Amino acid sequence: MRTAFAALGVAFTLSAMTGLATSVSAASLTVGFSQIGSESGWRAAETTVTKQEAEKRGIDLKFADAQQKQENQIKAIRGFIAQGVDAILIAPVVATGWDAVLKEAKEENIPVILLDREIESPKDLYLTAVTSDQVHEGKVAGDWLVKDIGSKDCKVVELQGTTGSSPAINRKKGFEEAIKAASNIKIVRSQTGDFTRTKGKEVMESFIKAEGGGKDICAVYAHNDDMAVGAIQAIKEAGLKPGTDIKIVSIDAVPDIFQAMAKGEANATVELTPNMAGPAFDALEAYLKDKKEPPKWIQTESKLFTANDDPMKVYESKKGLGY
């Protein structure tokens, strides 16, 4: 618990004094993790990887699943503060409304690290944020579509992530930036599917109804793969061919989208690593060792995968990773 800070400090000081190479060990640290929920395959993998990373490092991880509700996250964070944990990881469901609880953590000198989503709070209220560049992710998806479609007229339907979440805001922005110069490509419908497969399917069904039974739709842009998988199902049930009649581009790179790609039912995805905890724990350990502040943003990579990337091989490499 909190005394682990001091214990670690002593260990590091001793090793510095003796000159003996002591590896930075996080053993005896207690870290609280407020997770959003399990809305997507990607989120399930992030939870698995975080637990594995903690175990590997001997960190006692206190896990709280917020069932998609910010109020549950705030309650869990207050619980972690009351328990006197050494640090708190938060995957924030929405971007606003965190200032008060983060101030409470700061008053208790508990460092907070954000995982996979950004917030609109003063930066001094958290140690660092490990996230992708979500505007860039949307841009990569949009650039792919612009190139793939060429000069053809293209009506796009967009499945947005959770309203008010940073990936929903930023992935929309990046995609719109990418297609801005292509006057042949237009977003004709855009609605939240809350990052889930079920809602992605439901919303896609309503888009299909509204757009001439789907024949007027040229592409789906989904803010995550799970919603894309739901949309693929809806397109098939409407008697159309996903991947051919309607192009599918999304974000995450979960194993299921590679299976869909291998069948020709999806076209492109932008990878988001589920390993946010590795860089987060590295930053925390370094901070505890010598109080060196990490950068405020630790950026993860955003790589484009298309059907040309041997989807079954990628599927095989990812399928056992907790998605």
* In the complex, minimum distance from the CB of residue 44 to ligand AHR, in angstroms, rounded to a whole number: 9
DSSP 92: -
Q: Is 224 in the site for ligand AHR (CB under 6 A)?
A: yes
Between 38 and 52, name the residue whose CB sits nearer to ligand AHR: 38
Between 4 and 89, name the residue whose CB sits nearer to ligand AHR: 89
Tokens standing for residue 97: 């409304």
Reduced to 3 states (helix: H, G, I; strand: E, B; else coil), residue 151 is: coil
DSSP state string for 225-253: HHHHHHHHHHHHHTT--BTTTBEEEEEE-
* In the complex, minimum distance from the CB of residue 161 to ligand AHR, in angstroms, rounded to a whole number: 6
Q: Is 273 in the site for ligand AHR (CB under 6 A)?
A: no
CA distance 311 to 323: 16
Sorted by sequence, the CB contacts under 8 Å of residue 234 that are 6+ apart come out as 201, 202, 204, 205, 208
Sorted by sequence, the CB contacts under 8 Å of residue 220 that are 6+ apart come out as 156, 157, 158, 159, 204, 228, 231, 235, 242, 246, 247, 248, 249, 250
Q: Is 257 in the site for ligand AHR (CB under 6 A)?
A: no
DSSP 1: -
* In the complex, minimum distance from the CB of residue 250 to ligand AHR, in angstroms, rounded to a whole number: 9
* In the complex, minimum distance from the CB of residue 228 to ligand AHR, in angstroms, rounded to a whole number: 10
Reduced to 3 states (helix: H, G, I; strand: E, B; else coil), residue 198 is: helix
* In the complex, minimum distance from the CB of residue 224 to ligand AHR, in angstroms, rounded to a whole number: 4
Between 29 and 254, name the residue whose CB sits nearer to ligand AHR: 254
CA distances from 116 to 190, 211, 221 (A): 23, 34, 20
Q: Is 160 in the site for ligand AHR (CB under 6 A)?
A: no
Based on its alpha-carbon atoms, the radius of gyration of the chain, rounded to whole angstroms, reads: 21
- Write each residue from 82 to 121 as x if it is in contact with ligand AHR (CB under 6 A), else as -, in one continuous string: ----------------------------------xx----
CA distances from 84 to 32, 111, 112, 133 (A): 10, 11, 13, 32
* In the complex, minimum distance from the CB of residue 251 to ligand AHR, in angstroms, rounded to a whole number: 6
- Write each residue from 35 to 74 as x if it is in contact with ligand AHR (CB under 6 A), else as -, in one continuous string: ----xx-xx-------------------------------
Q: Is 170 in the site for ligand AHR (CB under 6 A)?
A: no
* In the complex, minimum distance from the CB of residue 299 to ligand AHR, in angstroms, rounded to a whole number: 14
Q: Is 135 in the site for ligand AHR (CB under 6 A)?
A: no
Between 162 and 267, name the residue whose CB sits nearer to ligand AHR: 162
Q: Is 218 in the site for ligand AHR (CB under 6 A)?
A: no
Q: Is 323 in the site for ligand AHR (CB under 6 A)?
A: no
Between 2 and 173, name the residue whose CB sits nearer to ligand AHR: 173
**Please, which of residues 178-217 interact with ligand AHR by CB under 6 A?**
195
* In the complex, minimum distance from the CB of residue 156 to ligand AHR, in angstroms, rounded to a whole number: 19
Q: Which residues of 259-283 are buried (b: 16+ CB within 10 A; e: fewer)?
A: bbbbeebbbbbbbbbbbbbbbbbbb
Residue 1 Cα to chain centre, angstroms: 28
Q: Which residue stretch of 34-42, 102-110, 213-221, 236-244 sits at the interface with ligand AHR (rule: CB under 6 A)?
A: 34-42
Reduced to 3 states (helix: H, G, I; strand: E, B; else coil), residue 112 is: strand
Q: Are strands 268-272 and 302-306 parallel, antiparallel or unpaired?
A: antiparallel
Between 117 and 201, name the residue whose CB sits nearer to ligand AHR: 117
* CA proximity to 156, closest of 66, 104, 230, 218: 218
Q: Which residues bind ligand AHR (CB under 6 A)?
A: 39-40, 42-43, 116-117, 167, 195, 224, 226, 251-252, 272
